[in-house]
Amino acid sequence: MTTFDELWFLADEADQQAEQAYHTLDERHDDFLQHDRTKRVSRRRFRTLATRVRQSGAPFGAHTIVYRDSGALLLVRHDGVDKWVLPGGGVDGDETFREAAERELAEEAGVDAEYDGLAMATRVHIECDGYRTWGVLPVFEARALTYEPHIDDPDEEISDARWFTDLPPDTRDRADLVEWRRQRSL
């Protein structure tokens, strides 16, 4: 007798959506950094992330690197992870990744920015007890048009937003941001 493995099926559907999402980003954007990351998670977290990927292709939504001509980058303080992070978050409904990134920037930092394109796309491989799937984490780049941050985060996860010339040691994905900055000569 064959048993139905619902978690395997969810992971397979997530893989398919991730592949479509990554392909669409790759077709629409040129010259972006590509990374691979692996996250080992609990079964419950695996189900949550795989469900998000099945819905949008992205386990953690879309984010934005916001920069000033001086080279300063905008980071927000995410209390849930206790780190400085790029503004960003989940994709709602039928939003595109860019629409999600723009909405999250407005909520978490409240600055106006002109989007330049895709800065990086990370393939996030998610593993748990022999189950595997993956999703894409798109990060857009945008030049700031206004500089005074204003937080209006409905999730109440963001406690601060600041500009940094030197990135703090507790910046999530710090090495990726340093690499992006170096390539952009900022």
d(CA 23, CA 134): 14
CATH number at residue 63: 3.90.79.10
Determine the pLDDT at residue 158: 96
Both structure tokens of 186? 């900022």
Task: Give residue 184's pLDDT.
Answer: 86
The rounded mean pLDDT for the chain is 95
DSSP secondary structure of 59-100: SS-EEEEEE-TTS-EEEEEETTTTEEE-SEEPPPTT--HHHH
Residue 141 lies inside a defined structural domain of this protein: yes
Positions in the chain whose pLDDT score sits under 70: 1-4
Q: Does residue 46 form part of some domain?
A: yes
The pLDDT score that the predictor gives to residue 2 is 43
At 185 the pLDDT is 82
User: Which domain covers residue 31, as residue numbers?
Assistant: 6-184
Does 19 reside within a domain? yes
Cα 165 off chain centre by: 21
Stretch (H or E) spanning 49 = helix 43-56
44 found inside a domain: yes
pLDDT at 5: 85
User: What is the C-alpha to C-alpha distance for residues 175 and 17, in angstroms, rounded to an integer?
Assistant: 28
Does residue 1 sit within a domain?
Answer: no
Q: What is the pLDDT of residue 1?
A: 40
DSSP assignment, residue 27?
Answer: H
With contact defined as beta carbons under 8 Å apart, do 124 and 39 qualify?
yes
Cα–Cα distance for residue pair 110/103, rounded to 1 Å: 9
pTM: 0.94
Residue among 108, 123, 106 nearest 60 (CA): 123
At which residue do the structure tokens 């819905």 appear? 55
Total structural domains within the chain:
1
According to the model, what pLDDT value does residue 143 have? Answer: 97
Q: Is residue 87 part of a domain?
A: yes
pLDDT at position 4 is: 54
Q: Do the beta carbons of residue 135 and residue 126 sit within 8 Å?
A: yes
